[in-house]
Structure 1
Amino acid sequence: MARPVIDIRGIHRIFESDAGFAHVLHNITFSVRPGEFVAITGPSGSGKSTLMNILGCLDTPTSGTYLLEGLNVAELVDDELAEVRATRIGFVFQSFNLLPRMSVLDNVMLPLAYTQAPRFQREMMAVHALQAVGLPVDHYDHRTNELSGGQMQRVAIARALVNDPAIILADEPTGNLDSHTGRMVLETFHKLKDTGKTIVLITHDSHVAAEADRIVSIRDGRLYHEDTSGIISTTGGGR
């Protein structure tokens, strides 16, 4: 079998404050295979956001191992983590995080700004990413504040794709969208999965989670695996 894109082993995350120590994640172990579409779900305060931050290299675990395409990111320093975020992870956020005064094409090109590629090559890469998410060509020179919510989210997905990352990490990508538009965005993720992209989607919506190949639930900092029929099994410190 192919090496997992994500391989997390025995992750703990403990935060220290004036009130003492808070053990937020307990012995989390799971993996994501290349081309898999996985949903991570859980209520507020469950540890879902902390796990997302670790997956996105925005935070590091207190103990345990996180291998991203075989690289132990848990051992990296800040500059190395920043490079991993820029080159190996594509982020899609609920609030889109697009720059409203810039064109669609320029927004998608942003992650390429620090590469050595000339502008024409960066433009070609951005066009390829926009084609992958199905945005019409006549929208490429529009400012993003001229787009609908669904179109903005497609631009955000294209921006996440432009560096050909190891994983697409989507945080509540349908949260600000109506049901019809959210359906269109989920169909975009399915099309990307069909091309071999690895997708990890964080959501509190059980209907959105059911779109994935597999569901991983976080409750009280412990991991529970589900299949899309709702059958639950515990792992890594589950009760």
Structure 2
Amino acid sequence: MTAELIDFTVRIDTGRWSETVLRSIDLQVPDRQITALLGESGCGKSMVARALTGHLPGTAASSGEVRVGGSARALWEDGRIGYLPQAGIEAFAAGKGVGGQLRERAQRFGRWSVERACEAARYPVEMSELNPDQHSGGQIQRAALAAALLSAPSLLVVDEPTESLDTETGVAVWRTLRKYADSGPAVLTITQNVQMLVALAVADRIVVMREGWVVAAGPAGDVARLDEPYVQGFFRPFGR
């Protein structure tokens, strides 16, 4: 399920302050590919994820088009869109065991088993009876990835999937995402872990954002070689 944002703008207005956080964005996430979204903190990457998954905040006013084969919110509720938020704990209700919540989601969608999703996300099943706030940041991030995979979504959007993970576990998670994209779905990953992204060569496409704009997009190798200082700032430390 190829996903697109077309001339998409988002403005946040809280009544006390307002800010345009996405500015006429054009972005495509093709089937069978990993599209990596890079950019400095606060440039709008997470708002892209929210737009594609139907999770724009109530204070947001948007214009342009979101194309994901139907209503993003409805597709998320049906499980055809999977979403790992930047703070994995947001994927779970407080005060309830993670394992029980994973089982409820598995029963609702009936596509992947809890065991399969946990193994793919490298989430230790022995921790699953703990509540979300009893996990470390890396542990709850992996649990949230398992939750996103349970419905075998056609579009998987993951925001900082390897944050707080050790190198070995991070490599395993990147390889899981690569294998998942190879099976057919479209995968968008937002990451600051450019070193591992480059080392493993897992991304097919790279999109670079700055202050709400897309400043570069294309095949991963082409973007990494662009002679543009802001873009090169993400790759130069790793010899690209």
State whether residues 46 and 86 of structure 2, in contact with CA within 8 Å, keep that contact through their aligned partners in structure 1. Answer: no
| Partner residue in 2 for 1:28 | 25
| Equivalent residue runs for 1:1-239 within 5 Å | 5-18=2-15, 21-59=18-56, 62-68=62-68, 70-71=69-70, 73=72, 81=73, 83-86=74-77, 87-97=79-89, 102=97, 104=99, 106-112=100-106, 115=108, 122=110, 125-130=113-118, 132-133=120-121, 139=125, 143=129, 153-210=141-198, 211-223=202-214, 224-229=216-221, 230-232=224-226
**1:19 Cα deviation after fit:** 6.3
**Structure 1: 5+ residue stretches without partners:** 74-80, 235-239
State whether residues 40 and 203 of structure 1, in contact with CA within 8 Å, keep that contact through their aligned partners in structure 2. Answer: yes
| Partner residue in 2 for 1:77 | none
* CA distance 1:95–1:28, shift in 2 (3 Å): closer
Q: Distance in 1 between matches of 2:156 and 2:26?
A: 20
**1:123 Cα deviation after fit:** 9.4
**1:182 Cα deviation after fit:** 1.3
* CA distance 1:110–1:90, shift in 2 (3 Å): farther
| Partner residue in 2 for 1:237 | none
Alignment length (residue pairs)? 213
Q: Distance in 1 between matches of 2:168 and 2:49?
A: 26
Q: Distance in 2 between matches of 1:142 and 1:109?
A: 10
State whether residues 14 and 21 of structure 1, in contact with CA within 8 Å, keep that contact through their aligned partners in structure 2. Answer: yes
| CA RMSD in angstroms, aligned pairs only | 3.4
Q: Distance in 1 between matches of 2:172 and 2:15?
A: 46
* CA distance 1:174–1:226, shift in 2 (3 Å): same
1:189 aligns to what SS in structure 2? helix
* CA distance 1:19–1:109, shift in 2 (3 Å): same
Q: Distance in 2 between matches of 1:212 and 1:61?
A: 31
Kindly, what percent of the aligned residue pairs are identical?
26
Higher helix share: 2
Q: What's the TM-score once normalised by structure 1's chain length? A: 0.72
2:36 aligns to what SS in structure 1? strand
**1:144 Cα deviation after fit:** 5.1
Q: Distance in 2 between matches of 1:10 and 1:72?
A: 17
State whether residues 142 and 161 of structure 2, in contact with CA within 8 Å, keep that contact through their aligned partners in structure 1. Answer: no
**Structure 2: 5+ residue stretches without partners:** 229-240
Q: Deviations over 1:63-110 (max 9, x none)?
A: 101011x2254xxxxxxx2x3322222122454425786364x34223
Q: Deviations over 1:170-224 (max 9, x none)?
A: 1111111122221121122122223223211111232244331111111111112
Q: What's the TM-score once normalised by structure 2's chain length? A: 0.72
Which residue identity does 2:150 align to in structure 1?
A: V
Which residue identity does 1:90 align to in structure 2?
A: G
